[in-house]
Amino acid sequence: MTVTAARDARREARKAMRKVAAPVAVLTVSHEGRVHGTTVSTLVGVSPTELIIGVSLRSGSLLGGLAVAAGRFTVNLLSGGQGGLARWFADRDRPQGPAQFAGVPWTSAGGDGAPLIDGALAHLECRLVRSIPVADHELLLGEVVDAVAGTGDPLFSFAGDLCAGALRTVPGSGDGTRNSNHRNPMEGTTR
Ligand SMILES: Cc1cc2nc3c(=O)[nH]c(=O)nc-3n(C[C@H](O)[C@H](O)[C@H](O)COP(=O)(O)O)c2cc1C
């Protein structure tokens, strides 16, 4: 493969990865009086039975360092109306420490006092199980030790934008997304 072809392939791969619709969350941590929040869109449920989730953070991120030091982190899964918070906790120019939460309504998590942001779709308090370096990122694996699930619509990151709005349930799915009784593979397909 030529250098140009390899560059084109990587560009296409990056474009393809932007087609992954991903939930947006603010991770929070509180450790020895230091509090921090960071926007992420790499949240993944790793084991629903063992309640393990994963999230990928850029190596050297402040949140990652504090989470490792604290041995904990909290996930605030954002709802559709919280796009402003997603942008705020990704802004490099936001104030550091408690000042970044000024004007953000929140309560303290039971475990370590990390901020639980009001109006989030769900809160998941996690015990850090492992931190695995992967390329230029750090994959944090956490066991969910406490959680609250709310109601509402989620916030997504898709194709470089933040997206909100009611999701449309695919006809014939519901609780049956995993069963094999469906006979028509094109059922629910729209153009
Ligand atoms: C929608 C959105 C999703 C993001 N997802 C991630 C992510 O999954 N991992 C990451 O390291 N940074 C992500 N970022 C960038 C961080 O929020 C931002 O760089 C942050 O200020 C750096 O983290 P730190 O303050 O902990 O060092 C995302 C930003 C936005 C706007």
* Domain residue limits at 48: 21-160
pTM confidence score? 0.93
pLDDT value at residue 43: 98
pLDDT value at residue 177: 65
Ligand 1 pocket mutation, candidates 39, 66, 140, 158, criterion most atoms within 8 A of CB: 39
CATH number for 139: 2.30.110.10
Yes or no: say if 89 and 155 are a contact pair by the CB < 8 Å rule.
Answer: no
Q: Which amino acid is at 141?
A: L
Residue 179 placed within a domain: no
Cα 136 to averaged position of ligand 1 atoms, centre (Å): 13
How many domains is the chain partitioned into structurally?
A: 1
Residue 182 placed within a domain: no
Residue 173 placed within a domain: no
From first to last of the 191 residues of the chain, give the pLDDT tens digit: 788 888 889 999 999 999 999 999 999 999 999 999 999 999 999 999 999 999 999 999 999 999 999 999 999 999 999 999 999 999 999 999 999 999 999 999 888 899 999 999 999 999 999 999 999 999 999 999 999 999 999 999 999 999 998 888 888 876 656 665 667 877 777 76
Cα 172 to averaged position of ligand 1 atoms, centre (Å): 36
CA-angle at 42, arms to 36 and 48, nearest 5°? 105
Ligand 1 binding residues, C-beta < 6 A: 24, 38-42, 56-58, 61-63, 86, 90, 92, 157
Cα 39 to averaged position of ligand 1 atoms, centre (Å): 5
pLDDT value at residue 84: 98
pLDDT value at residue 2: 86
Distance in angstroms (rounded) separating the CA atoms of residues 65 and 60: 7
Distance in angstroms (rounded) separating the CA atoms of residues 48 and 179: 17
Residue 106 placed within a domain: yes
Cα 170 to averaged position of ligand 1 atoms, centre (Å): 31
Lookup: tokens for 20: 């992954």
Backbone φ and ψ of 101, nearest 5°: -100, 0
